Amino acid sequence: MPQTLTLPQFTFEDGTTLRDLPVSYQTWGTLNAAGDNAVLVCHALTGDTEVDDWWEGLLGAGRALDPSEDFVVCLNVPGSPYGTVSPLTEDSETGTRYGTDFPPVTTRDTVRLHRRALEQMGVQRVACAVGGSMGGMHVLEWAFETTDDGAPFVQSLVPIAVGGRHTAWQIGWSETQRQAIYADPKWRDGEYPLDDPPTNGLSTARMMAMVSYRSHESFEGRFGREVMDDQNDQPFAVESYLRHQGGKLVDRFDAHCYVELTKQMDTHDVSRGRGTYETVLASIQQPTLVVGIDSDVLYPLSEQEELVRHLPNATLEVLSSPHGHDAFLIEFDDLNEMVADWRAQANVLSSVTA
């Protein structure tokens, strides 16, 4: 079950300071005496801390995330509606929810806030950070966190289905989805009552996203031109599927949080303020497993290949699947084998060079 800790205060990159910030998280396994066996799982856009649900194939004894050896931690991202500080959170000073006063959150804000939370939990070092899509952005940003003596706070990295910065293609997808939400009359510039949210806009945004998360082959193989004769308007099967996915998200998510999280993803750029893109990537010394998906149209394989060209200690693994970007949430067995084998090899190399 999710737990919550509270950070007394935190200052975001834009200069806004909030107080009494809740951070929702879940853990599996036990933190060792040295506080250095933590494995950090970074969740995707509409994900939560339920790793044993959405990544059950990677979590368990003998798997890539092994609670018998690892202290597996997943922290909810700021801006998400699942317990960490967000537009839905009540301001402890005013007694009202932050709403449109919620500050813009960057990927670096999330990593810095999560580090504060990890330290409050007693974590001294993170053995490995792993995550896909938005989670992969955070994984790459963790590469720049250091300890007081200048050593990496995170020892190894597994970014999945992501590049080193959000491109115009990905920002375009994000903005199109936001505009669908803004176009809903119930959006009300973000000042909507929680009992009357812009559900049509959020549902449409999710439908758009689902198209980008899959592939031509995946949609054609699953739906083709099948028609749903049992439904009143007899939609094509793919139409019915997208409507269903939109409705499912409306039932569990918040439109304002969706807007804020997509904006956070658009800030992703490891080189921002640090130097040229290639030079900054070359400065990441940690062993890194970069996982790409051969049918990913949202974060194409060329982006992972680019990462590996510039990261000095990187290995590329390609997840072969017809299911597009979402394959990292579908192809559990193959992904688990890739990550588990690489982690075992990385640990051996670390012990040899120590």
Question: Could you read off the pLDDT of 174-202 as tens digits, one per residue?
Answer: 999 999 999 999 999 999 999 999 999 99
- The structure tokens listed for 174 are 């994000």
Q: Give the percent of the chain with pLDDT over 90.
A: 95
* Residue 68 reports pLDDT greater than 50: yes
As a whole number of Å, the end-to-end CA separation of the chain is 37
Marked catalytic residue, from 80, 215, 325, 326: 325
- Contact assessment for residue 138 and residue 110, using Cβ atoms and an 8 Å cutoff: yes
Active site (annotated) includes residue 216: no
Active site (annotated) includes residue 323: no
Q: Are residues 224 and 307 in the same domain?
A: no
Burial of 282 (0-12, 13-18, 19+ CB in 10 A): middle
Q: Give the percent of the chain with pLDDT over 70.
A: 98
Domain that holds residue 27: 3-166+269-353
* Residue 348 reports pLDDT greater than 60: no
Residue 352's pLDDT is what? Answer: 35
- Contact assessment for residue 78 and residue 116, using Cβ atoms and an 8 Å cutoff: no
Active site (annotated) includes residue 133: yes
Residue in the block written with tokens 């998906």: 293
* Residue 351 reports pLDDT greater than 50: no
Q: Last residue of some domain: 225, 249, 265?
A: 265
- Contact assessment for residue 65 and residue 51, using Cβ atoms and an 8 Å cutoff: yes
Number of separate domains in the chain:
2
At 247, which CATH number?
Answer: 1.10.1740.110
Residue 232's pLDDT is what? Answer: 84
Residue 329's pLDDT is what? Answer: 98
Least confident of 33-42, 221-230, 297-306: 221-230
pLDDT-derived band of residue 353, with 50, 70 and 90 as boundaries?
Answer: very low
Q: Are residues 294 and 335 in the same domain?
A: yes
- Contact assessment for residue 194 and residue 155, using Cβ atoms and an 8 Å cutoff: no
Q: Are residues 31 and 126 in the same domain?
A: yes
Q: Are residues 110 and 257 in the same domain?
A: no
Side-chain-side CA neighbours of residue 64 (13 Å): 26
- Contact assessment for residue 323 and residue 330, using Cβ atoms and an 8 Å cutoff: yes
Residue 4's pLDDT is what? Answer: 98
Mean pLDDT of the residues in the chain: 96
- Contact assessment for residue 297 and residue 209, using Cβ atoms and an 8 Å cutoff: no
Mean pLDDT of 122-144: 98
Question: Could you read off the pLDDT of 312-343 as tens digits, one per residue?
Answer: 999 999 999 999 999 999 999 999 999 999 99
Q: Tell me the whole-structure pTM to 2 decimals.
A: 0.96
Q: Are residues 14 and 109 in the same domain?
A: yes
Q: Are residues 126 and 40 in the same domain?
A: yes
Marked catalytic residue, from 48, 70, 296, 334: 296
Marked catalytic residue, from 133, 203, 212, 321: 133
